[in-house]
Structure 1
Amino acid sequence: MARIELPEIFQDGMMLQRDKTIKVWGTVTGAKRLRISLCNDMEEAEIHGVTFYCELSKQNAGVGLTLSIFVDEEEAPEVTISNISIGDIYIAAGQSNMEYFLRYDAHWNDIKKWERNDDIHMFNCKRIAFEGQKRELPDSGSWFLEHDFQWETFSAPGYSFARSLQPVIGVPVGVIGCNWGGTPACAWMDWSCFDEEPLHVFKEEYQQALSSMPEEEIKNKSMEGWAFEDSYEHQIDWRAMMYGMNEEDQKEWMERNAGDPAVLLGPYHHYRPSGLYETMLKKLAPFPVKGVLWYQGESDAGHADIYDKTFETMIRCWRKLWKDELPFLFVQLAPFGWWLGNDGNGYPAIRERQELVSKLVPGAYMISIMDLGMYEDIHPKEKIEVGERLALLARGKIYGEDILCESPEFIKAERIENKLILHFSDTGKSLTLKGEEIKSLKIWQGKQIKEIETFSLDTSVTLTFESLSEDPIEIQFAKEGYCEVNLFNEALLPVKPFSVVCL
């Protein structure tokens, strides 16, 4: 009797990517021949030992379709997958701000009342840190729709992206959550990426951690840590943290939980280099998708100086794995001050390198959320806005709409007597200000901060001072770990951070 096993992504109610070759794979025993059909296209699968692989023709968008797998010469299908939709699928990847559950969003009470859109499909990859790990993850490993029980623990930015995009493009939209809180980018990369400088530092630090204690002790402590991590008591305690606490309550929480068991960096930790690439990402590839949504960087602040190389290499790694030049739509880190003993001091450098990637890597596009930060929380609660901006970016960069979809970027400064004029791209008809003064803008001449007498806005910002000498002028905008940005373009996208010396 034949036995066929497919990756979890293949289930009733699933989505497939339109306009790309459809790929089906898995394992089979007890069969010499497999035929796979979809939309009147039937193809023979290649069988090698116990594994099989099949490519089906590209298809247009559609709903209510069926994929069937036939064994040997049998006329009835051995496997039938029903209620398939075909449209555009995106992977929502990164760390906790992408993982961030919809139920924690600032708008959750309103979101719950929205009418269900059956053309939005979601799937959460199981968060497995090491091969053989057993975890109860009822909200993961299955396709679902809005208002299903898995919905409230799905990625808020990923869901918002789909909710914003689907009515515009008019075809089903799927989002696959493949993310995990706290993970550095190196966890999502192939091990070979660390062979050369400067990324070899991740391999060296990991090997140093492995040598810090015997392997058996690392395993025992890690299993104790996972038992605590997955316990009901910890999940309830952590849920209160994710809804948001002030600094005083956070310090009390840290003291109360100081002795909690922890997973040690090693073979059982989801932070380890290449760990989640092996246990999560590779299990998803080569499932065809339209592109990637990426929100990560907080855990790389300790290596901010090489984040552009890290992120660029990761993008190249994913594209190689999929054999597809997937577009990456990513989020520049929000303003942040302090949370659980961590601070945002390394964020300005990460933001600089994120913007560098958006300029140097083809098909990598960035949104700014410099107006959405929170001083006492690393997790800004307005995630719906994040998804909306990603969708706007997709419409402009992937779907080719002629719309304003990027934040204003500083171009140049010019001096005219006692005036300083700042020029920007992507302003639309005019820049706009929420408030009475431009926040997060600092001007130095010599050692003295120059007070702005008046300012005016159009597609540029004109600053008037009591006087300006001929000395160089240093300009900084939103360059702190935490800051407040209230200067926007016509599409209400915030001006990106910049610094420059005007001679």
Structure 2
Amino acid sequence: MPRLLTSFIILLCMTTASHAQLRLPAVLSDNMVLQRNATVKLWGWASPGEKIAVKLPWNPKVDTVTATRDAVWNIDVKTPAAGGPYTITLQGRTTVELKNVLIGEVWVCSGQSNMEWSGNHGLKDVKAELPVCADDKIRFFHIPKTTATTAQDDVKASWAVCDSNSLKAFSAVAYFFGKKLRKDLDVPIGLINTSWGGTPAEVWTPAPLVEEDPALKAAASKLNPSNGWPHLPGLTYNAMIAPITPMKIAGAIWYQGESNTGTAATYTSLFTKMIGSWRKAWGYDFPFYYVQIAPYRYGPNTIKGALLREAQTATLQYPHTGMAVITDLVDDTTNIHPQNKHDVGARLANWALADTYGKNGVAYKSPLYEKMEKQKDKIVLWFANAEGGLKAKGGKPVQFYIAGADKQFVPADVKLDGNKAIVSARGLKEPEAVRFAFTNSSIGNVFNAAGLPLTPFRTDDWPEQ
């Protein structure tokens, strides 16, 4: 190569490097919401050694940060109480302005299709909202469906102000969750939707956690591949979760499980590992609230949905988690996508209002089986979260079944007494176990005084019949 041409190329590279633009990830952009009263991270890319001034309108002091030799930079800044809109200025060799920024509460919303479902899927709840939904204090960040075999550092997305246009394609559950928080907390709300219909929890979990656990690896091998969604561990975690983990959040909500009904035996282990991995990536134990999957006819196996719901209930033992039970919000058990997303979002919001924000007087916990005692030809059951007593709507309690040592369940007679249920069956002298709403599609009619449905349960651990 001629020396003159070589010199020109070197000069061109040096000139290009010297004018490399200051760049931020997509999640830090116009219209975003930053977590209030917190230390949040701003980060991005710039030329190695480039000094960047960070000007925050709520802080008279100008902070500075220098890009590393790897051309990356990050800085921790403190945010004030809820407010805005603000303009944040970052000035290096070029200047970036982040406009219309709000300070409030930021939540990640993830899962499979019941979290993804939006007005574009014909939801009546969303259609009714469109004329009245415009709210400058609710912001959406919708991450498109993407996979990667290694952890990524950015996504192709942007923040949008809530209006009839942006709501149509956004998660309905996430919107109704955010709308209630916005109303009850009276602060701006930022919602990050990262969901993909049909996906098993394995794809949202870092691959090593699945592949290095023999039981989880074996279960993952049983997943049914489909042309509609990924199934290999870690693929959506790498592309749709990892890039946003530097973002300070208040917590996460989750609606998923239908695609794991065939591997329910390992779901609690998988799910808790997934939650733990997200918290480790973010660096703190944020609250994680999830929806128990709804009644649905999964086919010839009449119990696999119940077993998955049981695994979700067991996850409540994991720290800082909460579960919204929605057995009463289903009007068609042949549709895996219940239409009522408004009340699902509201129940998740009630968990956050009470458990995260300390609001008093919020009903958020469904009644939960606690213990049993055999008393001759009866079984007495005790329930938590049943203050004010249990009530049956529409007549006698239904979906209770009782069995003796032969493990043959028969319909039970049930008497509700405060936080107890006394269960028996004519002709059964030595009962051993009780099940409630413990099939794929059964819907019970027992509620606590606050109107929340009794969580499906079984007292036995007998192998699947």
TM bucket (normalised to shorter chain) is 0.7 to 0.9
Correspondence for 1:302 among 256, 262, 283: 262
Displacement of 1:481: 0.9
- In 2, Cα distance between equivalents of 1:479 and 1:203: 25
> Judging changes above 3 Å, is the alpha-carbon distance between structure 1 residues 419 and 121 closer, same or farther for their aligned structure 2 residues?
same
Residue 274 of structure 2 corresponds to 314
Residue 321 of structure 2 corresponds to 364
Q: Secondary structure at the match of 2:240?
A: helix
Q: Identical aligned pairs, as a percentage? A: 28
For structure 2, which runs of at least 5 residues remain unmatched after alignment? 1-18
| 279-288 vs 85-94, which moves further | 279-288
> Judging changes above 3 Å, is the alpha-carbon distance between structure 1 residues 79 and 501 closer, same or farther for their aligned structure 2 residues?
closer
Please show how residues 374-389 of structure 1 align to structure 2 within 5 Å. 374-389=332-347
Residue 99 of structure 1 corresponds to 116
Correspondence for 2:312 among 343, 354, 358: 354
Displacement of 1:124: 0.4
Q: Per-residue displacement from partner, 1:182-231 (whole Å, max 9, x unpaired)?
A: 1111111222212233223367679x99xxxxxxxxxxxxxxxxxxxxxx
Q: Per-residue displacement from partner, 1:151-200 (whole Å, max 9, x unpaired)?
A: 11111111111111222112111110011111111111222212233223
> Judging changes above 3 Å, is the alpha-carbon distance between structure 1 residues 450 and 346 closer, same or farther for their aligned structure 2 residues?
closer
> Judging changes above 3 Å, is the alpha-carbon distance between structure 1 residues 116 and 375 closer, same or farther for their aligned structure 2 residues?
same
- In 1, Cα distance between equivalents of 2:247 and 2:126: 31
Q: Secondary structure at the match of 1:79?
A: strand
Displacement of 1:23: 0.9
Displacement of 1:115: 5.0
- In 2, Cα distance between equivalents of 1:465 and 1:142: 59
Displacement of 1:364: 1.5
Q: Secondary structure at the match of 1:153?
A: coil
Displacement of 1:443: 2.1
Displacement of 1:463: 4.9
Correspondence for 1:410 among 356, 362, 369: 369
- In 2, Cα distance between equivalents of 1:78 and 1:164: 37
Q: Per-residue displacement from partner, 1:285-326 (whole Å, max 9, x unpaired)?
A: 211100010111111122211111111111111111111212
- In 2, Cα distance between equivalents of 1:68 and 1:148: 30
1:188 and 2:146 are equivalent in the alignment: no
Residue 43 of structure 1 corresponds to 63
Correspondence for 1:179 among 173, 176, 195: 195
Q: Is the 8 A contact 1:430 1:459 kept in 2?
A: yes
- Which AA in structure 2 matches 1:97? N
Residue 81 of structure 1 corresponds to 98
1:52 and 2:73 are equivalent in the alignment: yes
1:16 and 2:34 are equivalent in the alignment: yes
Displacement of 1:110: 2.5
Q: Is the 8 A contact 2:147 2:238 kept in 1?
A: no
- Which AA in structure 2 matches 1:16? L
- In 1, Cα distance between equivalents of 2:454 and 2:119: 27
- In 1, Cα distance between equivalents of 2:448 and 2:432: 25
Q: Is the 8 A contact 1:186 1:202 kept in 2?
A: no
- Which AA in structure 2 matches 1:120? I
| 328-337 vs 57-66, which moves further | 57-66
- Which AA in structure 2 matches 1:95? Q
Q: Secondary structure at the match of 2:359?
A: coil
Q: Is the 8 A contact 2:149 2:235 kept in 1?
A: no
Q: Is the 8 A contact 1:418 1:466 kept in 2?
A: no
- In 2, Cα distance between equivalents of 1:363 and 1:476: 27
> Judging changes above 3 Å, is the alpha-carbon distance between structure 1 residues 205 and 460 closer, same or farther for their aligned structure 2 residues?
closer
Residue 156 of structure 1 corresponds to 172
- In 1, Cα distance between equivalents of 2:350 and 2:231: 31
- Which AA in structure 1 matches 2:65? A
> Judging changes above 3 Å, is the alpha-carbon distance between structure 1 residues 8 and 486 closer, same or farther for their aligned structure 2 residues?
same
Cα RMSD for the two superposed structures: 2.9
Q: Is the 8 A contact 1:433 1:486 kept in 2?
A: yes
Q: TM-score, normalised by structure 1?
A: 0.78
Residue 394 of structure 2 corresponds to 435
Q: Is the 8 A contact 1:130 1:270 kept in 2?
A: no
Please show how residues 196-345 of structure 1 align to structure 2 within 5 Å. 196-201=213-218, 263=227, 270-338=230-298, 345=303
